[in-house]
Amino acid sequence: MATKASIIAEIKSKVGSSYSIWRIGLTHDLAERRAYWKDTEKQLARWHEWAADSPSDAKDIESYFTKKGMGSCGDDLSAYKAVDVYIFSL
């Protein structure tokens, strides 16, 4: 697991200033999310994931980046406590 600050720093280093071409999501099942979003090999080549310390940290990370212009995957989190954060570019 990683801290909220370290995940934010890593995402910033991977994304640069091109937030709008990236998507961010939260899940409890990374394999299922990768399978769902694998439209192209290019997309999966630009897939990154982290395990946050808590569900609230994961939600804070997602919120931070969507406010910067990153698209949200719109995952339904009401049924579980997701701590995995993932990003990919289109």
Give me the residue spans of the domains in the chain.
4-89
Which pTM does this prediction carry? Answer: 0.87
Neighbours of 28 (CB within 10 A): 16
pLDDT level of residue 60 (50, 70, 90 thresholds): very high
Q: Who wins on pLDDT, 36 or 3?
A: 3
pLDDT of residue 84 exceeding 90: yes
Average pLDDT, integer, range 64-72: 95
